[in-house]
Amino acid sequence: MSTQMRYPKNTYQDSSHDSGEWKDLDNILIDDWELLACCTLSPNQKPNSLVVTNFKFNIPQDAIIHAVDIRLDFHRDSSQNSINLEPPTVRLINVKEDYESKPLHGPTVSPIERSVLFDGSNMSPAELNNPDFGVEIIFDENESEFSGDLFFDFVRISVNYEEQRFVIGSLNGEGFPVKEKPLQKAVGETFIYTVLFNNSNGINKDPQDIKINLPEGLEVINHYFGSDKKGKIEVNEIDYEEDRFDFDMLTGEQEIIYDDDEIDLDTLIWHTGVKGIGMSRLRLELKCVSEGFKEISAFNEFSGTGAHFYVEVHPEGYEHEPNVYEESLLKWKSQLDVDEDYQTLNKEVVIEVNNLNREFDKAQEKVDNLKEYVIKWLKRDLKPKTKFKALTDVSFTINRGERVGIIGFNGAGKSTLLKILSGVLRPNSGSIHINGKVAPLLELGAGFDHNYSGRENVFLNGAILGYSREFLEGKYDEIVEFSELEEFMELPIKNYSSGMIAKLGFAVATLVEPEILILDEILSVGDVRFQKKSGDKLKSMMNTGTTVLLVSHSVGTIRAMCNRVIWLDHGKIVMDGLTKDVCDAYVEAAKKASDDELTGLEI
Amino acid sequence: MFDFKNHYRTFKNYSFLLTELIKRDISGKYKDSTLGLFWSFLNPLLSMIVLTIVFSTFFGRTIENFPVYLLSGKLVFDLFANATTGAMDSIKGNSEIIKKIYVPKYMFAVGIVCSEFINFLISLVVLIAVMIVTGAPFYWSLFYSPIPLFFLLLLTMGVGLILATLTTFFTDIKYLYGVLTMLLSFMTPLFYPIEIIPEEFLFFFKINPLYAAVSSFRDIVLYGAFPQTKFLLYLIITSIFALILGVYLFYRYQDEFVINI
């Protein structure tokens, strides 16, 4: 999978007679979180719609587009009484089909990257390479009774596409022992080496040969082909020219076109069984015959050499580090699939949720003032409220160190669950036991006071998060250093740029290494450099055994980050299990789901 | 049913938040003015001067030391009015935080009541200054003043919690309460002597706990006596009742705040 990320080179606004004019529009061409385009809106006024074009993509002509990921930032000014807008409509222009979607949230005070994702399977590289290809952002009118400023920071587009036809990899992408950390073995011992061959776009249907480069001193004892042949379909049943793009390699069974795998054990050439889109797996059980540092790899003429596998063979009777071997699975840690990883973790329960229920009143019946309430009461018009169940009998336990993703279509109850877990909402019934300090990274800089200096806000925001004065004083220097705002700490933050506020918010929110981290999307803040820094910080938090709960609309993010996934639908748990299984089933179900449910989700 | 130990622990954990909120409320009160905290002195002083000029011609003969009479009542009343109004807005005003992060919600109401009380203590300097200037005597009874002030604080807290709960469900309570405070200010003898009220209406004044609070405070400051038992007792009973009702309502409905703000 390759990705091209681009910023637009052209921008203009589409003004109608009474909509708000954008000032400094060219600032949205730069992704610096400092220079912004601004539009002042009075009540019921719309901002001009924005058009950005000329992205200068150069996607290879034979690539298959998977997804077009649009990131943008818009936010409102920080005064108490400000504007209120629905999320804007984001539309692709100068493409054959109609693509239209909305980010999940309208403008808030914090500048946070919004995302809109389009399925790219019906787009062609030529369309995207065209300089006229662009994005139109159409805002609704300001619904608030107040005037205020709407800011716009940047638009950038990432196109995910498949260019390479074949991929050789390890089964899981991570499980191979690297050169710096080879698998430790003694003479006479055996281990498993797995190669995955992935024909990812099915353009080339010729069966492929893969040569296994096995060094001296390793011997093949056994071999297995680990292919999924459940949905084996004969090649001639499928009209490739018509149907090719409907296939999704990730969803598995149906479209695998398979012959039998074969391997010649003398030459170690593997004739892969897969003929179209699909995967073949070869698992070799190898025995260490002689001592030394060994490197195993696989080679195919189109895809080249895949990941290298390193093993260090010690003299017979070599004592291994005791914790390297996973007794429960009878495997070496470096041999484990990512999915298997968490099964070996400590089984200490950190979150236990039993039969959680939460109902809400249907919004349209809400009576929010006394006058209306009394009138309705007098007219005997106070209907018994109809409820809808946001969560029904949700139960699960999460062990220490698990990284759990929560997926589901819009309205499935994901954010309700997250709010309950972070203590903001109470369930109507059911119990929650949380064992450890929770850091909810739902909103950065909640409760910042704009008349306060940066320094005072660190303490205010820290206090809101429940930290003590002594703790914050001890961590203060660290926060300042991380936020890179040393010179500005004594200034009121109303003079800060939105990027600076986001940096400070991130620095305060992540100042502890919490035992449980609750994330609503992976937060990325600040300029590109700070984004990397904040991303690294989150990763390091996750790697220290922190239990992570991540709600994301991107299945890709979930696959990359989580080892377990809970799928919610209409408030109930549909599936709870290994990332791959749940994500595959979810993607399959997403094909049948209505557009409404899918708005803003990335499949 | 009510887990005191647990609540105490939560309160302790968030005690720093309370001090930060009090700090924010106090510094935020006059944030855009150049005189800043000095307004806490200037505000009661100026309004006292204006009201004294206007009303002392009417009541100056019946009331001894009109400025001190006025100021001692007005400070007490303003504490109640400002703190309850502040507490009423405290939940909605901090909705951005409440919706995003778990925080004990009563902290916002308690914070504003405490900061108004501190503001009141600062304004007492003005009262003392006016007493010195007008040559009013300082009685030993001043040492009793924490008693009515403590119960006034409880009353304020209770009413504040009730209002905070109600406004999250009924937005127009805010406007109703604005009218009610104005009415209440006339129903409390701040700038007139209670003697001018005809006998048949006196009942309506006597049920006003603020009348009891103001009278108790004046007995101490102005007349050098322990507060009259009937006033003090009425203040104690109403304040405890208001506090219990406030705490009950707040706890009963606080979980629903999030979806209503």
Terminal CA-CA length for chain A: 15
Alpha carbons A221 and A235: distance in angstroms, whole number: 33
Residue predicted with more confidence, B147 or A230: B147
Residue A423 at interface with chain B, using a CB cutoff of 8 Å: yes
Q: Tell me which range, A246-255, A335-344, B26-35, is most confidently predicted by mean pLDDT.
A: B26-35
Single out the residue of B180, B196, B232 nearest to residue B211, CA to CA.
B232
More confident residue, A111 or B229: B229
Q: Among partner residues B99, B172, B258, which is closest to A370 by beta-carbon distance?
A: B172
Q: What is the number of other CB atoms lying within 10 angstroms of the CB of residue A265?
A: 11
- The count of other CB atoms within 10 Å of the CB of residue B49 is 13
Band (pLDDT 50/70/90 cuts) for residue A342 is: very low
Residue numbers in chain B where pLDDT is lower than 70: 1-2, 31-34, 60
| Nearest CB to A369 within list B94, B101, B171 | B171
Quote the minimal CA–CA distance from B255 to chain A in Å. 6
What was the pLDDT predicted at A230? 37
Is B172–A449 a contact, with Cβ atoms under 8 angstroms apart?
no
A268 shares contact with chain B (CB less than 8 Å): no
CB A568 within 8 A of CB A393: no
User: Quick check: A413 pLDDT over 90?
Assistant: no
Q: What is the pLDDT of residue A526?
A: 65
- B103 and A460: CB-CB below 8 Å? no
For the record, the structure tokens of B153 come out as: 């604080």
A458 contacts in B (CB within 8 Å)? none
Give the model confidence (pLDDT) of A517-565 as tens digits.
888 765 666 677 777 787 777 777 776 667 888 887 778 778 877 888 9
Any chain A CB within 8 A of the CB of B255? yes
Nearest Cα residue to A563 out of A342, A367, A406, A321: A342
Judge if ipTM > 0.90: no
* CA separation for the pair A333, A172 (Å, rounded): 13
Condensed to tens digits (0 to 9), the pLDDT of residues B194-219 reads 888 888 888 888 899 999 999 999 99
Q: Is the pTM of this model over 0.80?
A: no
Average the pLDDT over A479-500 and give the result.
Answer: 86
- Predicted local confidence at residue A344, as pLDDT: 46
What pLDDT, on the 0 to 100 scale, is given for residue A335? 54
Place of tokens 């260019």: A163
Overall average pLDDT of the A269-290 stretch: 80
Give the C-alpha separation, B30 to A513, whole Å: 38
Residues of chain B with C-beta less than 8 angstroms from the C-beta of A452: 24
Average pLDDT for residues A567-587, to the nearest whole number?
Answer: 86
Degrees (nearest 5) of the Cα angle A48, A54, A56? Answer: 150
A455 close contact with B: CB closer than 8 A: no
Alpha-carbon distance values, A264 to A212, A220, A233, A272, A304 (Å): 10, 11, 26, 11, 20
Looking at chain B from residue 99 to 118, which residues have their Cβ under 8 Å from any Cβ of chain A? 99-103
Among A112-116, A173-177, A360-364, A469-473, whose mean pLDDT is lowest? Answer: A173-177
Of residues B17, B99, B171, nearest to A464 (C-beta): B17
Does pLDDT of A175 surpass 60?
Answer: no
What is residue A257's predicted lDDT score, i.e. its pLDDT?
61
Instruction: Tell if the CB–CB gap between B103 and A468 is shorter than 8 Å.
Output: no
Chain A neighbors of B171, CB-CB under 8 A: 368-369
Q: How many CB atoms lie within 10 A of CB A427?
A: 22
| Strand pairing class (A100-101; A89-93) | antiparallel
Q: What is the DSSP string of A177-210?
A: PPTTSPEEEETT-EEEEEEEEEE-S-S--S--EE
- Per-residue pLDDT, A336: 53
Question: Which residue in the set A371, A419, A460 is minimally distant from B24, CB to CB?
Answer: A460
CB under 8 Å to B7, separation ≥6 — which residues?
none
State the Cα–Cα distance between residues A150 and A428, nearest whole angstrom. 38
Specify the higher pLDDT residue, A246 or A155: A155
B17: contact with A, CB 8 A cutoff: yes
| pLDDT (0 to 100) of residue A320 | 56
Residue A347 has pLDDT above 80, yes or no: no
Q: What pLDDT digit, counting tens, does each position of A9-48 carry?
A: 888 888 777 788 888 888 888 777 778 888 888 888 888 8
Which residue reads 């003929």 in tokens?
A: A275
Flag if A442 and B176 touch (Cβ within 8 Å).
no
Nearest CA in chain A to B167: A369
What confidence category does residue A238 fall into, taking pLDDT thresholds of 50, 70 and 90? very low
Of B31, B100, B172, the CB nearest to A446: B100
Which residues have CB under 8 Å from A68's CB, separation 6+? Answer: A92, A99, A117, A118, A120, A123, A128, A157, A158, A159, A160
Interchain CB contact of B165 with A (< 8 Å): no
Q: Mean of the pLDDT values across residues A510-514? A: 74
